[in-house]
Amino acid sequence: MLRPTFVFLILKVALTRAAEVIVFHGETAFLPSRADPAWTLETIEWSTFGNDTHIATYRKRVMNLNRTKQFRGRLSLNISTGDLTIYNVTEQDAMEYSVRLKNTLKENSINSNQLTIRRLAEKERNKETYPTVETQNPKTPGEKPHQTQVNHIRVQQTIMKAGQ
C-alpha cells in the first residue's frame, strides 16, 4: 500500500509598511528597495501598488525599464541594491510603488514606497526668507551704504554633562 507523502514549501516573505518619499515637481525621486545588503539579487520587480503594473524589472540578468509609457526614459535601476530612481517627476507619478525582491537563495522580500509630489511654488513658499539690512559703515571713503542679506545660522548644541 502506498503512503501519501506531503511536501511542505516554506516561503520566507517579509512585508513592511510603505516608506514616504517626498520630492518636488521636476526633481529626481529615489525609491529605496530596502533589500538586505547581504543579498545577491536575482529578481527585482517594481510595480505600481494599485494595479500591479510592472514599471521596471530585472529577471534572469535582463533589465527592462521601458515597460510603461508614463516612465519611458525616466527610470534607473540599481541591480545591486534594487533601488529605483525616477527622473523629472510629475504629479502623475504620485502613487504607491512596491518592489518584490528575490535573492539567489530564493528568499523573497516585498517593500513599498509612497511617492508624494509637491509643486515648486510650495517649495518657494516654504523657503525661509532672510531680512535685508543696510550696512552702517562703508569700508572705503565715498562708498555708499549697501544692502546685504543677513544669514541666520542655526546651531544645535549638545551639552554633555560629566559622567554621561
Tens digits of residue pLDDT in 23-48: 999 999 999 999 999 999 999 999 99
Task: Name the band, by pLDDT with cuts 50, 70 and 90, for residue 49.
Answer: low
59: left (phi over 0), alpha (psi -120 to 50) or beta: beta
pLDDT in tens, 145-162: 443 333 332 222 222 233
- Residues 19/113, Cβ–Cβ less than 8 Å: yes
Residues in CB range of 18: below 8 A, 6 or more apart: 49, 96, 112, 113, 114
Higher pLDDT, 154 or 64: 64
Beta strands in the chain (DSSP E): 19-24, 29-31, 41-48, 53-59, 62-64, 75-77, 84-86, 96-103, 108-118, 132-134, 147-149
Could you tell me the domains of the chain? 19-122 (2.60.40.10)
Indicate whether 117 pLDDT > 60.
yes
CA separation for the pair 143, 134 (Å, rounded): 13
28: left (phi over 0), alpha (psi -120 to 50) or beta: beta
CA separation for the pair 77, 120 (Å, rounded): 26
Instruction: Report the share of the chain in percent with pLDDT over 90.
Output: 57
pLDDT of residue 109: 94
Beta bridge partners of 57: 45, 64
Instruction: Report the share of the chain in percent with pLDDT over 70.
Output: 61
Indicate whether 58 pLDDT > 50.
yes
Cell of 44: 527585482
pLDDT of residue 40: 97
pLDDT of residue 52: 76
Cell of 150: 543677513
Rounded to the nearest integer, the mean pLDDT of the chain is 75
Indicate whether 9 pLDDT > 70.
no
- Residues 117/51, Cβ–Cβ less than 8 Å: no
CA distances 138 to 50, 60, 147, Å, are 63, 70, 11
Indicate whether 18 pLDDT > 50.
yes
Higher pLDDT, 123 or 22: 22
Indicate whether 85 pLDDT > 50.
yes
Higher pLDDT, 125 or 64: 64
